Amino acid sequence: MKRYIIAIVGRPNVGKSRLFNRLTESQKAIVHDYEGVTRDRQYGDAEWFGRHYTVIDTGGFVPDTAETMLSQMRDQAQLAMDEADVIVFLMDGRAGFTESDREIATMLREAERPVVYAVNKVDSWDRREEVLADFYNLGVPLFPVSAEHGNGLDAMMDDLTKDFVVVPFDEWENDDHSGVTQVAVVGKPNAGKSSTVNQILGEERLLTSDIPGTTRDSIDTRVKHEGRDYLFIDTAGLRKKSSISHRLEEFSVVAAIRAIDRADVAVLVLDATEGITSQDKKIAAVAARRGCACVVLVNKWDLVEKDDTTAGEFVKEFRHQLPFLAWAPLLFASAKTGQRLHKIFEFIDNANEQYTRRVKTAELNRFIEITTTRHSPPIHRNRKVKFYYASQVATRPPTFAFVVNKPDGVAPAYRRFLENQIRAEYGFEGTPIRSVVRARKGHERTGER
Ligand code: GDP
Ligand code: GDP
């Protein structure tokens, strides 16, 4: 389902990252907290009254000269204009209106997307008109805000999201694409995404249709393989669109975010000749965070000089570098020669099956009881943490709830231990799994369900 992209642009120090934090702190914000990934503040998901969005803080650099600052800001603004649905141009009410603000504003006038002009650091709300006076010569409506104190943010968000389609959270969670497996082909530029999709199409005679530009940022292709329907979302096509975006590293990450939001399974394409790069890690983190199934295509395997141990070494290195994707299976193939590439369907089907799999409550309970008895949970404030029951509360991805007497007493490490035990018992290869710990409600009986 469509998640709107909001990009924040503005000079350094105007408060972009503070605003970013605010906008992703809201109810239902997804906390990106994965071991092994440095917390990357650049992308965050949240919703505003049923309007789902991703915020991109395009900043984060420290320019050394005024000249580089301006050119970086131009790049930022261009990226936002190419990729975002709405742009927030943030200025600094304390510093007042500056020449750089004017430059960027001039650029943003060309934007085909809505731009919201916000003046930050309006901490004393009564004086907002005074602060804004300096910015009126822009000739646009202005939103006074304080990212620090929260002033004005509701009005700004209402305006910002006014054209977003509202999707209730339940529907958002249960969007099941009616029988078509949606596959996002993601990876850094030149990894071989287009070649992969083209090779698949070349092999697949049963191709039903080509749907160019279903969204403005990817090329969707319907494929029928052994009686099943797939929709391949190829993010490579976008590259040719803008002269500037493809220079920017972030570009393929933004494309991945969009494609992954619609996908059941992500195919992460790696270039075997380059090993695992930081760009691969960023894109992999997007897939892991968003909770879609994932398989890894180690492409260009034809170019690699190899012996019996090469593939094994690659797997080892992958698991080491990307521990949060340790459950993803790797397919070594060549999009160019087609070698082993046909196996991708098997990988995708298996991952999707695990992604939508359900473990029966009775069975799960038996397993959790045995596990918690064998390795009892740590004592919490001199009281034993008691597990009443466990159940799988969701699929896509599989999510487990543990109902206990003291939710606070279950340390994250113990919860991860249980997740690992579930994996060891049930597999779930190709899909992330999640868990929640809940207190028993008063009216529920022990062992219910
Ligand atoms: P960025 O470089 O645009 O991402 O700016 P930051 O978010 O890092 O903020 C720069 C500085 O401005 C930090 O010291 C913030 O605490 C401060 N700041 C951000 N928002 C506000 C605000 O609403 N009021 C005040 N007084 N300071 C703010
Ligand atoms: P994209 O940017 O991820 O879509 O990458 P492309 O599919 O455009 O591929 C980038 C370059 O790598 C092209 O020159 C391809 O011919 C080449 N390439 C892609 N896959 C393979 C492969 O498996 N083996 C070899 N030798 N070259 C490949």
- Which pLDDT tens digit goes with each residue over 28-82? 333 333 332 233 336 677 778 878 888 887 654 455 566 777 777 777 777 777 7
- Which residues does 56 contact at the CB level (< 8 Å), separation at least 6? 5, 6, 7, 8, 42, 43, 80, 83, 84, 250, 254
The answer on pLDDT for 353 being more than 90 is: yes
Looking at residue 429, its pLDDT comes to 96
Which helix (H) or strand (E) segment is 367 a member of? helix 361-374
Of 39-43, 105-109, 118-122, 386-390, the least confident: 39-43
CB-count exposure of residue 2 (10 Å: 0-12, 13-18, 19+): middle
Q: Quick one: average pLDDT of 127-147?
A: 94
Ligand 2 proximity of 338 Cβ (cutoff 6 Å) = no
Return phi, psi of residue 338, to 5°.
85, -5
Give the Cβ contact number of residue 27 at 10 Å: 9
Over its C-alpha atoms, the chain yields an Rg (Å, rounded) of 24
Tokens of 113: 């997307």
Ligand 2 proximity of 199 Cβ (cutoff 6 Å) = no
The answer on pLDDT for 26 being more than 60 is: no
**Å from CA of 13 to ligand 1 middle:** 6
Structure-token match 């008063």, residue found: 442
Looking at residue 123, its pLDDT comes to 94
Q: What is the pLDDT of residues 212-239, one digit of tens each?
A: 333 334 567 778 888 888 888 877 644 4
Looking at residue 215, its pLDDT comes to 35
CB-count exposure of residue 175 (10 Å: 0-12, 13-18, 19+): middle
Q: Quick one: average pLDDT of 359-374?
A: 90
Instruction: Name the residue at shortest CA distance from atom 25 of ligand 1.
Output: 121
Helices 361-374 & 412-426 angle (0-180, nearest 10): 120
Q: Which of 336, 341, 342, 343 to mutate to test the pocket of ligand 2 (most atoms within 8 A of CB)?
A: 336
**Å from CA of 186 to ligand 1 middle:** 34
**Å from CA of 110 to ligand 1 middle:** 27
Q: What is the DSSP string of 16-54?
A: HHHHHHHHHHSTTPPP---TTS---TTEEEEEETTEEEE
Shortest CA distance to 152 belongs to which of 117, 180, 182? 117
Contact 392, 364 (CB under 8 A): yes
Give the Cβ contact number of residue 381 at 10 Å: 8
> CA-CA-CA-CA torsion for 197, 199, 204, 210, nearest 10 degrees?
40
Looking at residue 165, its pLDDT comes to 79
Q: Which of 13, 89, 127 to mutate to test the pocket of ligand 1 (most atoms within 8 A of CB)?
A: 13
d(CA 229, CA 262) in angstroms, rounded, equals: 15
Q: Which of 185, 190, 341 to mutate to test the pocket of ligand 2 (most atoms within 8 A of CB)?
A: 190
Ligand nearest to the CA of 95: 1
d(CA 104, CA 76) in angstroms, rounded, equals: 10
Residue 149 CA: which ligand 1 atom is closest?
23
218 bridge partner residues = 215
pLDDT band at 386 (very low <50, low <70, confident <90, very high): confident
pLDDT band at 252 (very low <50, low <70, confident <90, very high): low
88 bridge partner residues = 8, 116
Of 191-205, 336-350, 407-421, the least confident: 191-205
- Which residues does 377 contact at the CB level (< 8 Å), separation at least 6? 384, 385, 387, 404, 409, 410, 414
**Backbone conformation region of residue 434, classed left if phi is above 0, alpha if psi is from -120 to 50, else beta:** beta
The answer on pLDDT for 23 being more than 80 is: yes
DSSP conformation class of 395? T
Ligand nearest to the CA of 193: 2
d(CA 23, CA 26) in angstroms, rounded, equals: 6
Q: What is the pLDDT of residues 387-409, one digit of tens each?
A: 888 889 888 899 999 988 888 88
Q: Quick one: average pLDDT of 300-312?
A: 94
d(CA 272, CA 297) in angstroms, rounded, equals: 9
More confident residue, 344 or 202: 344
**Å from CA of 191 to ligand 2 middle:** 6
In Å, what is the CA distance from 135 to each residue of 143, 150, 155?
11, 20, 18
Which helix (H) or strand (E) segment is 254 a member of? helix 250-261
Shortest CA distance to 315 belongs to which of 301, 334, 335? 301
Sign of CA dihedral 349, 355, 356, 362: positive
Sign of CA dihedral 304, 307, 310, 311: positive
d(CA 22, CA 152) in angstroms, rounded, equals: 12
Q: Quick one: average pLDDT of 311-317?
A: 95
pLDDT band at 344 (very low <50, low <70, confident <90, very high): very high
Give the chain's mean pLDDT. Answer: 81
Ligand nearest to the CA of 298: 2
More confident residue, 363 or 244: 363
Instruction: Name the residue at shortest CA distance from atom 17 of ligand 1.
Output: 15
Q: What is the pLDDT of residues 262-287, one digit of tens each?
A: 889 999 999 999 999 988 998 898 88
Looking at residue 29, its pLDDT comes to 38
Q: Quick one: average pLDDT of 109-136?
A: 93
d(CA 268, CA 328) in angstroms, rounded, equals: 10
Q: What is the pLDDT of residues 173-217, one digit of tens each?
A: 555 556 789 999 988 888 888 888 888 876 543 333 334 333 334
Residues with CB under 6 A from ligand 1: 10, 12-18, 59, 120-121, 123, 146-148
**Å from CA of 336 to ligand 2 middle:** 7
